[in-house]
Structures are given as structure tokens and as C-alpha cells.
């Protein structure tokens, strides 16, 4: 574990966003924020309100609230944009998996036909050359 992974809620970006009330929606112990570097239009992050380092550190209640919020957000996105025809949902756990903010967060990425030349394999694309099979 490096120093970045040991950060506390006092210097955590998402804890700051929570304190500042930057959320777009909440559900129980989870909040949603616009991604600072969106992959597609409407890309959101779902985070627990409590500082938890990653998805595995979330409580069962936080996981249920996050799941409910993801479902609610997906429905809202679909209604607002009829071109949304799919979603990628994922989380990065640990530096080797690409986690850069060490506060649990789940990406909800709306997808539209044609937004990628070849979307086959989806999430498998996190490893170069492994997406297409």
C-alpha cells in the first residue's frame, strides 16, 4: 500500500465533494456525482457517503443503497436521452486496477450506438488487447 492509498477523509476528493454538496442525487448512504473526466456524456460516479477505501470496504447497506441509486440513475438517464442503449458499470480497486481516488466509487457510463468503433468485449478493454475475443 502506498501513501496515496492511505489518505484520510480530510484530504479525499470525494469526501470534499460530499461536504460541498456537489452530488446530483442521493439514496440513503450513497451519492452520485458527475465524473470529472467523463468517458461519455452522462458518466456518473456513485460513492458511499462514508469514507470507504474501495468497494470491498463498503457495508452491505452501502452496497444496497449504491445499487438502488445506480438503477434510479440509469432509468433517469434513459428517459432523458433516448439514444442511450446500454451502460458500463464498474469499479477500480487498487492502484494496479487503475484506482486513482481511494474512496470507493462505481462508474455508471451511459453508452450509445456508435460511440465506439467496436464495443464488443466492453469491460475486458481494461487490459490492452483483451477486449476483442
Predicted pLDDT at 133: 78
Degrees to nearest 5, angle at CA 46 with 132 and 33: 110
105 is catalytic: yes
Predicted pLDDT at 101: 97
Q: Mean of the per-residue pLDDT values for the chain? A: 92
Predicted pLDDT at 5: 52
Residue 2 has pLDDT above 70, yes or no: no
Residue 3 has pLDDT above 60, yes or no: no
Q: Could you give the 3-state DSSP secondary structure of residue 103? A: coil
Give the mean pLDDT of 27-33: 98
Give the mean pLDDT of 52-71: 98
Question: Which one is catalytic: 51, 103, 105, 107?
Answer: 105
- Rounded Cα distance, 39 and 14, in Å: 18
Task: Read off the pLDDT of residues 96-123 as tens digits, 9 standing for 90 and up.
Answer: 999 999 999 999 999 999 998 888 888 8
Instruction: Assess contact for 35 and 44: CB atoms under 8 A.
Output: yes
Domains along the sequence of the chain with CATH: 9-101 (3.30.428.10)
Residue 61 has pLDDT above 70, yes or no: yes
DSSP at 60? H
Q: Please classify residue 45 by burial: count the beta carbons closer than 10 Å to its beta carbon, then call 0-12 exposed, 13-18 middle and 19+ buried.
A: buried
Amino acid at each position: 500500500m502506498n501513501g496515496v492509498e492511505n489518505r484520510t477523509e480530510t484530504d479525499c476528493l470525494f469526501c470534499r465533494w460530499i461536504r460541498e454538496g456537489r452530488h446530483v442525487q442521493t439514496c440513503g448512504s450513497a451519492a452520485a456525482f458527475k465524473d470529472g473526466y467523463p468517458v461519455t456524456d452522462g458518466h456518473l460516479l456513485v460513492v458511499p457517503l462514508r469514507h470507504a477505501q474501495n468497494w470491498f470496504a463498503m457495508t452491505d447497506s452501502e452496497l444496497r443503497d449504491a445499487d438502488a441509486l445506480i438503477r434510479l440513475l440509469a432509468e433517469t438517464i434513459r428517459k432523458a436521452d433516448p439514444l442511450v442503449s446500454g451502460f458500463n458499470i464498474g469499479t477500480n480497486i487498487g492502484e494496479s486496477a487503475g484506482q486513482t481516488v481511494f474512496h470507493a466509487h462505481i462508474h455508471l457510463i451511459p453508452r450509445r450506438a456508435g460511440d465506439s468503433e467496436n464495443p464488443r468485449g466492453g469491460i475486458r478493454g481494461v487490459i490492452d488487447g483483451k477486449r476483442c475475443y
